[in-house]
């Protein structure tokens, strides 16, 4: 596999910080305690040994790019490996490049991802790399130059923010032809019959409508891909709203593609939290958006009680209240039936059912079903009541989580 020159430059830099002793490196540089060198082991062997390395060395990180056990297992799937491949330097380079692509390498080289945004992706993948701007880390708020995983008591920064920026800027200055060659695969387009080649009898009327139907289909597919898009809305702005919603910034507005006050408020807050300063949806914002983490949550918000959460966003708990009340009522009816309080009701429905059966009409079949349900009404009430109560509890939990994570 051919690795583009800019990617090779970055991989060499990563390897020099993560594993300066080379491709056989394991966490803590305890290579002498390994049963055999890493570069002689298969992918499956390295994955299977991961728990032992964690227990023995403190981490499963291994190789020049310090692959974690779960990361390597994921790469095995995405790179379509059998697991019998040996962890040679060439394979490790290939897997390292795959991680760069995951973290936005292609977008960065195309100018669609900023240095700060790509730097954040690298910091999330390699704990020894610093974030290039203040952001919400894995455990706490982190500042420029600190590891994304600050607070875990295990990882520390091995490169400065300036060093990372220098390498990324060097990459941008390198020829980009190799990137296109590595990323683009040309697949011959299938040959489809042209509409003019289709023979449609005139008397069917289909020949008159077929061009209209074919013309309308692309618009229908586009609308289905962006539900709620206003007819005057921008598909690109809809995508921004959708990305902001995933990060808990645009949670009360409708994804309609219109630049309304809720959208502007969400963009302003996202810019502030990610160190982008004042402004709107500009090139810097669009470049940083894909790598933006979930909206930071204040400590008091993260620990809010259920009662206060319901007061903060009562609309989230409305369905739960209705379902819970109805479910409790059905459970009450089930209990009343068990006490014999509904026997008269059952007797009445049984007599109606008997009469309808004699008539043998559609009503008779309907009342047969009703009669069966009435005969077993206690179980029906209890089962339905429990279902609604459990459903209500799910709504309550979902609403509580949304409030605590600032998603509403």
Render pLDDT for 85-100 as a digit per residue (tens, 0 to 9): 999 999 999 999 999 9
Asked whether the whole model's pTM tops 0.85, one would answer: no
Mean pLDDT of 349-361: 53
Tell me the pLDDT band of 368, cut-offs 50, 70 and 90: low
pLDDT computed for residue 201 by the predictor: 40
Q: For residues 400 and 172, which has the higher predicted lDDT (pLDDT)?
A: 172
> What is the predicted pLDDT for the residue at 249?
87
**Which pair of structure tokens corresponds to residue 13?**
């830099």
Confidence of residue 298 (pLDDT cuts 50, 70, 90): low
Mean pLDDT throughout 9-29? 93
Gyration radius of the chain's alpha carbons: 31
Residue 184 has pLDDT above 50, yes or no: no
| Confidence check: pLDDT of 17 > 80 | yes
Give residue 122's pLDDT.
Answer: 94
**The pLDDT value given to residue 400:** 62
Q: Residue 107 above 70 pLDDT?
A: yes
Specify the pLDDT at position 116: 93
Q: Residue 187: pLDDT above 70?
A: no
Selected residue with higher pLDDT from 215 and 394: 394
Q: Is residue 319 scored above 90 in pLDDT?
A: no
pLDDT above 50: residue 336: yes
More confident residue, 184 or 48: 48
Question: For residue 320, is pLDDT > 80?
Answer: no
Listed range (43-47, 86-90, 142-146, 381-385) with the worst mean pLDDT: 381-385
pLDDT of residue 165: 93
Specify whether the backbone of 145 is left (phi greater than 0), alpha (psi in -120 to 50) or beta. Answer: left
With a cut of 60, say whether residue 397 has pLDDT above it: yes
What's the pLDDT tens digit per position in 213-246? Answer: 444 444 433 344 788 888 888 888 988 999 998 8
Lowest-confidence range among 95-104, 129-138, 247-256, 263-272?
247-256
CB contact set of 279 (below 8 Å; sequence gap of 6+): 271, 285
CB 154 within 8 A of CB 168: no
* Of residues 131, 120, 133, 176, the one with CA closest to residue 290: 120
Q: Is the pLDDT of residue 207 over 70?
A: no
Task: Note the Cα 302 to chain centre separation in Å.
Answer: 21
Contact 3, 11 (CB under 8 A): yes
Least confidently predicted of 8-17, 90-99, 109-118, 223-232: 223-232
Q: What is the pLDDT of residue 297?
A: 67
pLDDT class of 299 with cuts at 50, 70, 90 = low
What percentage of the chain carries pLDDT values higher than 90?
33
CB atoms within 10 A of CB 275: 15
Measured distance CA(316)–CA(31) in Å, rounded: 54
Q: Over the stretch 133-166, which tens digit does the pLDDT of each residue have? A: 999 988 889 999 999 988 877 778 899 999 999 9
Q: For residue 169, name the pLDDT band (cuts at 50, 70, 90).
A: very high
Is residue 52 scored above 60 in pLDDT? yes
**pLDDT for 182 beyond 70:** no
Residue 345 above 60 pLDDT? Answer: no
Residue 216: per-residue pLDDT: 42
**Whether the Cβ atoms of residue 274 and residue 295 lie closer than 8 Å to each other:** no
Distance of alpha carbon 194 from alpha carbon 200, whole angstroms: 13
């Amino acid at each position: 596999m051919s690795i583009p020159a800019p990617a090779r430059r970055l991989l060499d830099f990563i390897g020099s910080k993560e594993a300066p002793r080379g491709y056989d490196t394991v966490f803590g540089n305890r290579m002498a305690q390994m049963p055999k060198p890493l570069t002689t082991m298969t992918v499956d062997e390295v994955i299977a040994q991961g728990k032992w390395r964690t227990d023995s060395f403190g981490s499963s990180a291994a190789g020049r790019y310090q692959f974690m056990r779960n990361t390597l297992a994921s790469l095995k799937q995405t790179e379509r490996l059998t697991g019998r491949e040996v962890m040679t330097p060439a394979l490790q380079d290939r897997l390292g490049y795959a991680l760069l692509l995951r973290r936005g390498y292609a977008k960065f080289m195309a100018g669609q991802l900023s240095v700060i945004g790509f730097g954040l992706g690298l910091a999330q993948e390699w704990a020894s790399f610093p974030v290039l701007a203040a952001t919400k880390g894995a455990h706490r708020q982190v500042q420029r130059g600190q590891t994304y995983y600050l607070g875990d008591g295990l990882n520390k920064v091995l490169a400065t923010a300036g060093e990372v920026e220098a390498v990324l800027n060097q990459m941008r200055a390198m020829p980009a032809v190799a990137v296109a060659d590595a990323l683009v695969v040309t697949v011959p387009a299938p040959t489809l019959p042209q509409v003019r080649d289709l023979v449609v009898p005139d008397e069917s009327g289909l020949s008159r409508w077929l061009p209209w139907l074919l013309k309308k289909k692309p618009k229908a597919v586009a609308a289905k891909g962006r539900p709620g898009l206003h007819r005057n809305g921008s598909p690109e702005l809809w995508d921004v709203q959708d990305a902001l919603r995933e990060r808990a910034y645009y949670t009360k507005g409708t994804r309609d593609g219109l630049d309304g006050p809720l959208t502007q408020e969400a963009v302003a807050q996202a810019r502030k939290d990610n160190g982008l300063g004042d402004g709107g949806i500009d090139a810097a914002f669009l470049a940083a958006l894909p790598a933006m983490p979930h909206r930071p949550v204040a400590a008091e918000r993260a620990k809010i009680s259920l009662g206060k959460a319901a007061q903060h966003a009562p609309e989230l708990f409305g369905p739960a209240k209705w379902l819970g009340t109805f479910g409790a009522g059905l459970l009450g009816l089930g209990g009343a039936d068990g006490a014999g309080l509904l026997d008269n009701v059952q007797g009445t429905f049984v007599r109606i059912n008997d009469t309808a059966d004699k008539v043998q009409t559609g009503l008779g079949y309907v009342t047969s079903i009703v009669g069966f349900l009435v005969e077993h009404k206690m179980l029906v009430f209890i089962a339905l009541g429990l279902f609604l109560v459990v459903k209500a509890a799910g709504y309550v939990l979902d609403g509580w989580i949304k409030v605590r994570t600032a998603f509403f």
